[in-house]
Structure 1
Amino acid sequence: MELKDSPWKDPIHDRPMYLVFEDKYPVTKGHLLFVPKLDDKEHVLECYRAAYALGQAWVDNGYCRAFNIGQNVGESAGQTVMYPHIHLIPRRHGDMDDPRGGVRGVIPEKQKY
């Protein structure tokens, strides 16, 4: 798949190496997708850098208390749009009963350890 064939339209930010979209099915308020303009290592890594920087700024400014950054790569990992994209999910106190385990929750019985 190429970016032009993806379901993402109307970016909220357009940067030289990536676009940012609001997630259509947000996990929490403010859930964003960072989508590289090219499907290569440098562009994907820039998405991670930018997502991390924004997440830190959100925490520093009090928008959220924490954040998750993640990517589903391949159908077995839950990827539904077969073009790379990075999720930035702001986390707030009380947004779930027990957040321990974080990304381990992709396999629920492995989340608690």
Structure 2
Amino acid sequence: MKCIFCHLPENTIVDGNELVCAFYDKYPVTQLHMLIIPKRHVADYFELTQEEIAAMHDLLLCQKARLLRLDGTITGFNVGINVGADAGQTVFHVHMHLIPRRRGDMNDPKGGVRGVIPQKRKY
């Protein structure tokens, strides 16, 4: 089976370097939701090299700054990586979500990423 992230159309890539690239999520949670992926096909974040992890982090910071310049309504971000089917991973090529958040985009955002298990979000 072909990996959809290994065969991205060149015109969908927003930014990148020799190890990683960034593009907009095809099914965004919020406007400007981005994905950052290694160019090397690897399914599990914990199998990335230190160089790939550093490159993903550097691109994450660059894209955060770019999104803040593009959209002054952004007031926060969620950053996440699903590892394994039981954690919700559906495309088995590492991908980091950079999800811009805006004040009022949901009634009570308390708990943030803890919401992956809804009854555990509130504490």
Of 44, 53, 57, the residue aligned with 2:53 is: 44
Confirm whether residue 35 of structure 1 aligns to residue 44 of structure 2: no
Against the structure 1 CA distance between its residues 66 and 37, is the aligned structure 2 distance closer, same or farther, given a 3 Å change threshold?
Answer: same
Mapped to 2, the partners of 1:7 and 1:57 lie a distance apart of: 25
Structure 1: state its 5+ residue gaps.
Answer: none
- The two structures have a TM-score, normalised by structure 2, of 0.78
Post-superposition Cα deviations, 1:26-78, rounded to whole Å, max 9, x if no partner, equal: 00000000011124222134213321343255447735111011000000000
**Percent identity for Structure 1 against Structure 2:** 44
**1:22-101, aligned counterparts within 5 Å?**
22-38=24-40, 39=42, 40-41=48-49, 42-56=51-65, 58-59=67-68, 62-101=72-111
C-alpha contact 1:59 1:66 (8 A) present in aligned 2: no
State how many pairs are aligned: 110
Structure 1 runs of 4+ with >4 Å offset: none
Post-superposition Cα deviations, 1:4-47, rounded to whole Å, max 9, x if no partner, equal: x3213232223221111110110000000001112422213421
Structure 2: state its 5+ residue gaps.
Answer: 43-47
Q: What SS does structure 2 have at the residue aligned with 1:66?
A: strand
Mapped to 2, the partners of 1:44 and 1:34 lie a distance apart of: 11
Which residue does 2:3 correspond to in 1?
Answer: 6
